[in-house]
């Protein structure tokens, strides 16, 4: 391949712990090993379309590896292929991808590394099909990308949720309450499953296993019969009752994925209080799962992903995403990586192990 002189980076979608570590790894490896210049686009694809960017050098990235968030900013609304504009006083959506590509060319960039989830990677793949040299880095705390064993930020989110459950245990036991912790997980229940097991939850509710309120009530009552006067429930935001639908908080029309979930915890609390007559409190962990410093595992994984992305770019492996498979970082086509969501297998060993120690998934027969 020809010599690379300049590459660009952007972070798209929701933030998560480890983004800055990836930015640092890409920048350091590009500069130290290949003597490249690195440009960072601000606020995701918005910066690419509007031409807003900063130069990244060793001074700019110094000390950011352990920091949460992204120094570049991010956005989950500014899709260049469906970009908000104004016409006759009304907002319309237009394709400005040619403008984005023109900005890349004007800056003399030889390639673009996109750090994001399925939505951002879908946009990256579309840019690749229009001739842009693109490499993707998987980012989602939901851990629902099927082409990689794990995404950075997931383990930090699990750590945050597990600590919250540890704290809820003591207050629930003190006041004989049912405590519900609502965590992220729209279509996949990985955070709820891992945190629920590590945090000693008595009920885990995930999108992959529709629940019956009667089964949850039975678990709470069963604990009361055995003089266990409190219960801990962890529920993924996308969990659904058998025959029911996800609880939607609001819609964001300009977003790649406009549905915003939230409220399943409060819905469950009302049902439990009505049927068991036990005080039930809800904690919605929300963006606490996205914020804060990454744990050491995610710092290491982020660094490996960032360096691998630089290497993939130099090797001419365009249209691919770096992926952890077993002990190795490999590349896979972006198109294949985003085709299928990775969901919890209800028949998996992990679910079976949880059931074996008495954890309910809300689907048991009475």
Claim to verify: residue 66 and residue 118 sit in the same structural domain = yes
Claim to verify: residue 349 and residue 210 sit in the same structural domain = yes
Claim to verify: residue 114 and residue 255 sit in the same structural domain = no
Claim to verify: residue 141 and residue 13 sit in the same structural domain = yes
Residue 364 inside a domain? The answer is: no
- What CATH number is attached to the domain comprising 218? 3.40.50.460
Average pLDDT per consecutive 10 residues, the chain (366 residues; last block may be shorter): 84 93 98 97 96 97 94 90 85 92 97 95 97 97 93 96 96 93 95 98 97 94 88 95 74 56 84 90 92 95 98 97 97 94 96 97 84
Residue 298 inside a domain? The answer is: yes
Residue 4 is predicted with a pLDDT of 78
Distances from the Cα of 317 to the Cαs of 1, 146, 205, in angstroms?
A: 10, 20, 40
Supply the residues annotated as catalytic.
Answer: 142
Residue-range definition of the domain harbouring residue 187: 154-290+345-356
Residue 34 is predicted with a pLDDT of 96
Claim to verify: residue 304 and residue 274 sit in the same structural domain = no
213 class by beta-carbon count within 10 Å (0-12 exposed, 13-18 middle, 19+ buried): middle
Q: Which two tokens stand for residue 217?
A: 């009530």
Claim to verify: residue 49 and residue 82 sit in the same structural domain = yes
Claim to verify: residue 32 and residue 83 sit in the same structural domain = yes
Claim to verify: residue 106 and residue 233 sit in the same structural domain = no
Residue 117 is predicted with a pLDDT of 92
Claim to verify: residue 111 and residue 172 sit in the same structural domain = no
Other C-beta atoms closer than 10 Å to the C-beta of 34 total: 15
Residue among 126, 129, 151 at smallest CA distance from 141: 151
Contact indicator for 307, 131 with CB cutoff of 8 Å: no
Residue 77 is predicted with a pLDDT of 80
Q: Which residues pair with 54 in a beta bridge?
A: 40
Residue 115 is predicted with a pLDDT of 97
Residue 323 is predicted with a pLDDT of 97
First to last CA, the chain: 64
What total number of domains does the chain contain?
Answer: 2
b/e code 252-285 from CB counts within 10 Å (16+ = b): eeebbeeeebbebbebbbeebeeebebebbbbbb
Residue 108 inside a domain? The answer is: yes
- What CATH number is attached to the domain comprising 75? 3.40.50.450
Residue 243 is predicted with a pLDDT of 85
Which strands form 280-284's sheet, in the order they lie side by side? 203-205, 231-236, 178-183, 280-284
Residue 365 inside a domain? The answer is: no
For the entire predicted model, the pTM comes to 0.92
């Amino acid at each position: 391949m020809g010599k690379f002189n300049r590459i660009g980076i952007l972070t798209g979608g929701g933030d998560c712990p480890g983004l800055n570590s990836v930015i640092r790894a890409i920048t350091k490896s590009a500069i130290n090993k290949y003597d490249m210049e690195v440009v960072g686009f601000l606020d995701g694809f918005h910066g690419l379309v509007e031409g807003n960017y900063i130069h990244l050098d060793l001074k700019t990235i110094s000390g950011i590896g352990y920091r949460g968030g992204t120094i570049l900013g991010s956005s989950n609304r500014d899709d260049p292929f469906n970009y908000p504009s104004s016409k006759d006083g009304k907002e319309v959506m237009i394709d400005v991808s040619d403008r984005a590509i023109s900005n890349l060319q004007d800056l003399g960039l030889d390639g673009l590394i996109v750090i994001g989830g399925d939505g951002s990677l879908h946009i990256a793949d579309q840019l690749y099909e229009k001739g842009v040299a693109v490499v993707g880095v998987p980012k989602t705390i939901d851990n629902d990308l099927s082409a990689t064993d794990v995404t950075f930020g997931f383990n930090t989110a699990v750590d945050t949720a597990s600590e919250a459950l540890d704290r809820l245990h003591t207050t629930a036991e003190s006041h004989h309450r049912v405590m519900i912790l609502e965590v992220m997980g729209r279509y996949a229940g990985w955070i709820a499953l891992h945190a629920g097991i590590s945090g000693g939850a008595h009920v885990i509710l995930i999108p992959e296993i529709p629940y019956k309120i009667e089964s949850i009530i039975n678990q709470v009552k069963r604990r009361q019969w055995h003089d266990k006067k409190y219960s801990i429930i962890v529920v993924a935001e996308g969990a659904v009752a058998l025959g029911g639908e996800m609880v939607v908080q609001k819609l964001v029309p300009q977003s790649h994925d406009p549905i915003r979930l939230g409220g399943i915890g409060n819905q469950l609390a009302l049902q439990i209080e009505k049927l068991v007559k036990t005080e039930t409190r809800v904690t919605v962990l929300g963006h606490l799962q996205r914020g804060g410093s990454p744990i050491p595992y995610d710092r290491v994984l982020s660094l490996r992903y960032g360096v691998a992305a630089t290497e993939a770019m130099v090797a001419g492996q365009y249209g691919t995403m770096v992926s952890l498979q077993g002990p190795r970082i490999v590349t896979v086509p972006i198109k294949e990586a985003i085709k299928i969501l990775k969901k919890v297998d209800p028949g998996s060993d992990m679910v079976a192990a949880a059931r074996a120690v008495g954890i309910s998934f809300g689907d048991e027969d009475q």
